[in-house]
Each structure stands twice: as C-alpha cells, then as structure tokens.
C-alpha cells in the first residue's frame, strides 16, 4: 500500500509559480477529503461562475441542474456588492452543502505580500476557504473560524512553496493592518496574527510535506486551539485601535497621518499586544527588510530607531516593568532637573 505521506508529498511538491489549476486543485481535494466531494460546490467566479467539477457523470449533471435554479451568477453579483472587500467565499447553502467561489484576481486586501505572484495569492485564498469546509468548527462566522482557515492556508503555503517563501510572512502584518485600520467587523473577525506568527516561528522546524492532508488540517486546528488570542484580549486590542479604524483608504491614497498616529501610539503604549501588532501593521511601511513601500525621511528614520529601542525594552523588562517605568516618569517629569 502506498504511504499516504509520500503520496501527498508528491502531490504537493513546490508549484512552479506560473498558474493556479482550479480543476486539478478540486480533483486533489476530492482525493484528500472525499467526504466533501458533493458537499462543497466549487465555482470559478473569474469565468462566469463556471462549475469546477473535474469528472463527468450523473452527479455533475445533478449539480448543474441545481445551479440553473440557484442562479450563482446573480447571487455572486449580489455577494460582491455586499462584500466588496472579498473575492472569495465559502457560503452555507441548504443542509450541509456549501458554495465555495474564487475570483482569480488580486484581492483588494492583501493576504500575503503584494509582490507575490497571483498564483500564490489565489492558492492562499483557495486554501483559506477550503479550511472553512474541512476543519471542524471553521464553518461558523467567528474569529476562531478565521484563525482555522488562515492557519490551514499558511501551512499549505509552506507545503506548496517552501519554508523559505519570501511572501508568506506578510500574513501577520496584513491581518494586523486590517485590525488597526479597517472597520471593526472585518479587522476583529479576521485577526489571525497570534496564530499564524506561531506557525511561521516553526517554519523550519516542521517537515511540512511529510504531513498527510488530514494531518495538515489537524495541525492547523491544533495551532489555533493552543495559540489563538483570548476573546477578552482581542476585544481590548480592538478597542485600543478604535480611533484608527476606517483609515485604510486614506493610507492607500498616500496619506501618512494615520500611520504617524499609530507610530505615536505604539511608541507610548505599555501594552505588549498593542506594541506587537501595532508595530507589525507599521512594518508594511517602515520595516526596510519586509516593507513593500518604505517611508523615508527624518521623521520615519527616528520612528525606526525608537521602535527598535522599545522592542528591546519590552523584550528585556516585559510589559509590567515597563509600565512602572512609564508611570514613574509621568509622576516625576522634572526629577533630576531641580
């Protein structure tokens, strides 16, 4: 009998980065997770809501008859109008059936680095939506469900493109940016950074391609259950950034004022979470090693120096000690000067 790990390793060898083969991907899902074959209906939204069903026969004919009544083209148009920030969805239908559609074009909100080839972003989005369908508990609209989906997509990216992929590290920064600068619902629901950063911390410690498909899904679930941010902490973090919500479009138009406001916040906070994830959101613009658009000038050079200094202080003293230091400075602002 063929070793399932070796079989999967052959199926998941690194993509050449040229094309996302939707039909081949669905065929592999059917092999790996046969229980969802006719429970998840895959649609290619880039090609007129084409049904992706790499097999002829009565089952495909039945689904096509259903789709004629369901009219996915009209419903997808409505979904795009309602969820303008999404180019994919894993939507519950009647019973246990789900509709999974993918629009194969750049997502308006980056998931991985914007420098990543379209095939890599499409693969991440596909694996994210598939995670909603195959991981227990990932099919409900909660932050945990989004963590399950992102965890699975991150593991699959490491399997597809290798642990040295230069683009996957952005997933933590992008989700942090969404938490800070987008609306409360989207940013809060999709904040998965506490989980994905733990996976990326282990990117060279785990033999990703040795995992069977089910083991990859189970490991994603395990990472979430062990490392997800507690709801109370996430709610508090979301409130801490509330004044900066809905500023993403301004930033996209070149307005750096919201970024300056965030910089001042992370440079004065005594919260380790505010500092960590605020800094990760800023990294998209100030980190010379990972940023796609690095802000220049005296102000931002000073911000980089101060961030590095505070990062060392948090690492050395921790939040409680740092909080005491800040309180002491606030209570005695002129100590040593009189």
Q: What is the pLDDT, as a whole number, of residue 179?
A: 96
What confidence category does residue 173 fall into, taking pLDDT thresholds of 50, 70 and 90? very high
Whole-angstrom distance, CA of residue 122 vs CA of residue 104: 6
Chain-centroid distance of CA 122 in Å reads 13
Residue 51, strand partner residues:
43
Higher-scoring residue by pLDDT: 92, 330? 92
Kindly report the average pLDDT of the chain as a whole number.
84
Whole-angstrom distance, CA of residue 212 vs CA of residue 44: 26
pLDDT higher than 70, residue 40:
yes
pLDDT digit string (tens) for 187-206? 899 999 999 999 999 999 99
What confidence category does residue 318 fall into, taking pLDDT thresholds of 50, 70 and 90? low
Structure tokens at 250: 């301004």
pLDDT higher than 90, residue 115:
no
Whole-angstrom distance, CA of residue 72 vs CA of residue 234: 35
- How many residues are present in the chain? 338
What confidence category does residue 7 fall into, taking pLDDT thresholds of 50, 70 and 90? very low
pLDDT digit string (tens) for 8-29? 444 444 445 578 899 999 999 9
Structure tokens at 56: 């002829």
Whole-angstrom distance, CA of residue 334 vs CA of residue 338: 7
pTM of the predicted structure, to 2 decimals: 0.85
Chain-centroid distance of CA 262 in Å reads 21
Percent of the chain whose predicted confidence (pLDDT) is above 90: 62
pLDDT higher than 70, residue 336:
no
Whole-angstrom distance, CA of residue 316 vs CA of residue 261: 26
Q: What is the pLDDT, as a whole number, of residue 2?
A: 41
pLDDT digit string (tens) for 117-127? 989 999 999 99
DSSP label at residue 229 = P
Average pLDDT over residues 272-282: 95
* Radius of gyration, alpha carbons of the chain: 22
Whole-angstrom distance, CA of residue 32 vs CA of residue 125: 18
What confidence category does residue 109 fall into, taking pLDDT thresholds of 50, 70 and 90? confident
3-state helix, strand, coil in the chain (%, to 5): 60, 5, 35
Whole-angstrom distance, CA of residue 17 vs CA of residue 226: 32
Q: What is the pLDDT, as a whole number, of residue 325?
A: 44
Q: What is the pLDDT, as a whole number, of residue 293?
A: 78
Q: What is the pLDDT, as a whole number, of residue 89?
A: 73
Higher-scoring residue by pLDDT: 283, 99? 283
């Amino acid at each position: 009998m063929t070793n399932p790990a070796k079989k999967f390793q052959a199926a998941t060898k690194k993509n050449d980065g040229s094309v996302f083969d939707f039909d081949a991907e669905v065929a592999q899902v059917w092999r790996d997770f046969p229980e969802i074959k006719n429970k998840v209906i895959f649609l290619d939204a880039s090609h007129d809501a084409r049904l992706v069903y790499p097999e002829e026969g009565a089952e495909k004919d039945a689904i096509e008859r259903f789709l004629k009544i369901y009219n996915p083209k009209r419903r997808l148009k409505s979904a795009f109008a309602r969820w303008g920030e999404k180019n994919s969805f894993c939507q519950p239908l009647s019973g246990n059936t789900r509709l999974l559609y993918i629009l194969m074009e750049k997502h308006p909100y980056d998931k991985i680095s914007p420098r990543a080839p379209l095939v890599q972003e499409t693969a991440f989005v596909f694996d994210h939506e598939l995670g909603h369908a195959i991981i227990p508990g990932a099919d409900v609209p909660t932050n945990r469900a989004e963590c399950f989906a992102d965890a699975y997509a991150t593991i699959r990216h490491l399997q597809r493109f290798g642990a040295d992929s230069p683009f996957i590290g952005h997933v933590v920064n992008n989700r942090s940016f969404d938490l800070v600068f987008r609306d409360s619902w989207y940013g809060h629901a999709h904040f998965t950074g506490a989980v994905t950063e733990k996976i990326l911390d282990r990117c060279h410690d785990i033999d990703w391609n040795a995992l069977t498909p089910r083991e990859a899904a189970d490991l994603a679930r395990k990472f979430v259950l062990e490392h997800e941010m507690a709801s109370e902490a996430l709610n508090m973090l979301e409130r801490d950034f509330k004044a900066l919500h809905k500023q993403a479009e301004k930033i996209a138009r070149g307005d750096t004022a919201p970024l300056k406001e965030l910089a001042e916040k992370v440079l004065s906070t005594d919260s380790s979470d505010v500092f960590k994830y605020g800094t990760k959101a800023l990294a998209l613009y100030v980190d010379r090693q990972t940023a796609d658009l690095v802000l220049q000038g005296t102000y931002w050079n000073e911000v980089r120096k101060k961030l590095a200094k505070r990062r060392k202080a948090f690492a050395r003293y921790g939040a409680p000690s740092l909080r005491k230091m800040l309180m002491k400075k606030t209570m005695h602002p002129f100590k040593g000067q009189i």
